[in-house]
A and B are shown apart, each in its own frame.
Chain A
Amino acid sequence: MSELRHGFRLEHERCDGCLACMRSCPTFAIRVWNGKARLLTDLCIDCGWCLKACSRGAIAATTRSLSEIGRFAFKVAVPSPVLFGQFPAAVTPDDIVDGLLAAGFDAVWDYGIDIALVARAVASYVETWRGPRPLVSSTCPVIVRLAQVSYPSMLEQLVHIHPPREIAGREIKRRYSAELGLPPEEIAAIYITPCQARIISIIQPAEGGKSHLDGAIGIGEIYNTVLAAARSKSRTVGVSGARHLVRTADMLRWSTSEALSRHLFRHRYLTVTGLTNVIQVFDDVEKGKLRNIEFLECYACWGGCLSGNLTVDNLYVSLTKLHKLISDLSETDSATEAEIARRYPAEDYALERPIRPRPLAGIPGDLRERVRKVNEAEAILATLPGLDCGLCGAPNCRCLARDVSTGDASRADCVFLSTERLEELKRFYQRSR
């Protein structure tokens, strides 16, 4: 199996070894060795907390920049509905669409349709499912990867339906290559993303297929350009050249943590946000609790995608703005319904292959050898102070004990056990300040 790829990179020259990313990582996937952060790639599920934690800009999302996508003949933006809650209230959804066009896109996709199609496909999946419950939503790539890495026995409970962004990408290529007579590879479907995690579902889809999207641009990356375009327009009282793309409450609700509430309200349904909360709930599911729940809508970020690490506005402010927009819209409209009626029966939404586990490499060796290492790690742990100070470069004493047992670290990395280590740290951190 190919190595797990990630939606960000560590830039070593910028890293000053401050430990902030290591301390923020919920899966203990970061070590700081010799004053530089190191990623244990198979433990990382791309939650992206380290990106927010790093004040040095040493951890960067591998999104695309606007200039990079210039090589495509025709560029179509697929804006996450999160985008529409990011701007000052005076900037309308139409202004934002105009702003995307001003930023260099040739078209902005009518994404509410794909969202509605997938919502319908998921609702029908939940209704007809006869396997173990609860089913788990699969739109958040971090949740999918969490299940692949840590809860392989729950993988069949993931809803095996493509997220709307993939359905949009596929239709964009199909429609514009027919309309414009261009080969599909010259048409770029670019997702405007609230987080770096969406990138992993583009560069390495969980089920092993190939994404229909050609990359993602972070909301923060295009924010200023869109805002400037909207402001200059309001000065000239320009008329929107854009199609009216934000028409339904259903579309905007997709950006909140209750995306499917309207479609699944008859079912026993839980929304869980925040990775640590999701882990707690998954633990309960594995124990056989929550069997009466039919569907779990799960997001790695607290409050859902609105607090993604590439957003600009505060979660609560943007949620309020979206609620205001939602309250002014009807659930759906005739244009959307007509498109759904046309497209829904004609397209497939199911993933082409099952999502497979990505078990951790773990401790090498046979069972006897692994038991020996685990016992050794426990014995080492008993000699450590248990303060989880992180100065050894591991996030807690347990991780250090494990790293020592596997030969990746030394007991002498602990400042309580080795004054030399303390002296070394002093020298290093004085130099880097």
Chain B
Amino acid sequence: MAEELFRRSFKIHGRDFDKAGETSTEIKAILKSLSIDAGVIRHAVVVAFEAEMNVVMYADEGTMTFVLTDEAIGIEVADVGPGIPDLELAMQEGYSTASDEMRELGFGFGMGLPNIKRNSDTLSITTEVGKGTTVSSHILLDSHE
């Protein structure tokens, strides 16, 4: 059983594009100060950023919980929001329900969930339409070079 070493939680505000990305920047700073391998950090930062952006773009609010064990980095993002009606479709590259406005801001190219998946070692997503979504990703500390 992996032992938990470090845990932090961050609030994410929906539709706050101004602050979007700050939580993943903070997580990166923590990982750097812990001298975690650069490749592992990059995977974790992409997961954190994409999950954070999903909350900012679609949900009302969310919480990102960052947990470090002696084996892996865990990133869990739970939001209160619309949920995902068709998860299978949302996992396809290029599928996006982003508005034109979001695309103009440079977001919503339908790469969010596929990117999270590609950068995670394990991923689980639970979602309920009208209630919200929880994305839970783990990145192993020693599987990336």
**Residue among B41, B42, B68 with max Cβ neighbours from chain A (10 Å):** B42
B49, A288: Cβ atoms closer than 8 Å:
yes
List which B114-145 residues lie within 8 A (CB) of chain A.
115, 141
Q: How large is the interface on B (under 10, 10 to 19, 20 to 34, 35 or more residues)?
A: 20 to 34
Query: Contact between B42 and A367 (Cβ–Cβ < 8 Å)?
Result: no
In Å, the complex CA distance between A374 and B30 comes to 8
A363 to chain B, nearest CB (A): 6
Chain A, residues 375-395, CB within 8 Å of chain B (1/0): the string is: 101000000000000000000
- Determine the chain B residues whose CB is within 8 A of the CB of A286 once the complex forms: 28, 42, 45-46
Complex-state Cα separation, A150 to B33, whole angstroms: 11
Q: How far is the CB of A380 from chain B (nearest CB, A)?
A: 13
Evaluate whether A287 and B46 lie within 8 angstroms (CB atoms) in the complex, with A359-B38, A363-B35, A374-B34 already known: yes
Alpha-carbon distance A153/B36, docked complex (angstroms): 12
Name the interface residues of B19-54: CB closer than 8 Å to any CB of A: 21, 24-25, 28, 30, 32-35, 38-39, 41-42, 45-46, 49-50
User: Does B93 belong to the interface (CB within 8 Å)?
Assistant: no
Once bound together, how far apart are the Cα atoms of A134 and B38, in whole Å?
Answer: 18
Query: Does more than half of chain B's interface fall in helix, strand or loop, or is it mixed?
Result: helix
Q: B1 in the interface, Cβ–Cβ < 8 Å?
A: no
Contact A288 B25 (CB under 8 A): no
> If the complex has contacts A287-B46, A288-B115, are A367 and B38 also in contact, measured as CB distance less than 8 A?
no
The listed residue (B49, B70, B106) touching A368 by CB distance below 8 A is B70
User: Residue A283 at the B interface, CB < 8 A?
Assistant: yes
CA distance A402 to B45 in the complex (A): 23
Q: Are A153 and B34 in contact (CB under 8 A)?
A: no
The reply on A152 being an interface residue by CB < 8 A is: yes
Interface size, chain A (Cβ < 8 Å): 22
- Whether, in the assembled complex, A182 has its beta carbon less than 8 Å from a beta carbon of chain B, the answer is no
> Is residue A303 within 8 Å, beta carbon to beta carbon, of the partner chain?
no
Judge if A181 is at the interface, Cβ distance under 8 Å.
Answer: no
Contact call B5/A368, Cβ cutoff below 8 A: yes
CB <8 Å contact, A370 and B35: yes
Which residues from chain B contact A287 at a C-beta distance below 8 Å? 21, 24-25, 45-46, 49
Answer whether residue A79 sits at the interface, using C-beta atoms and an 8 A cutoff: no
Tell me whether A367 and B28 are in contact (CB under 8 A): no
Is A362 in the interface zone, CB < 8 Å from B? Answer: yes
Output the least CB separation between B34 and chain A (Å).
5
Closest A-chain residue to B42, C-beta based?
A153
Chain A 276-301 per-residue mask, 1 if CB under 8 angstroms from chain B, else 0: 00000001101111000000000000
Closest 6 CB pairs of A and B: A362-B35, A287-B49, A152-B38, A153-B42, A371-B5, A288-B46
- Can you offer 5 A-B residue contacts whose CB atoms are under 8 A? A286-B28, A286-B45, A367-B5, A377-B33, A402-B33
A-B contacts besides A286-B28, A363-B35, 6 pairs, CB < 8 Å: A153-B38, A288-B111, A359-B38, A367-B68, A368-B5, A377-B33
Residues of chain A having any CB pair with chain B under 8 Å: 150, 152-153, 283-284, 286-289, 357, 359-360, 362-363, 367-368, 370-371, 374-375, 377, 402
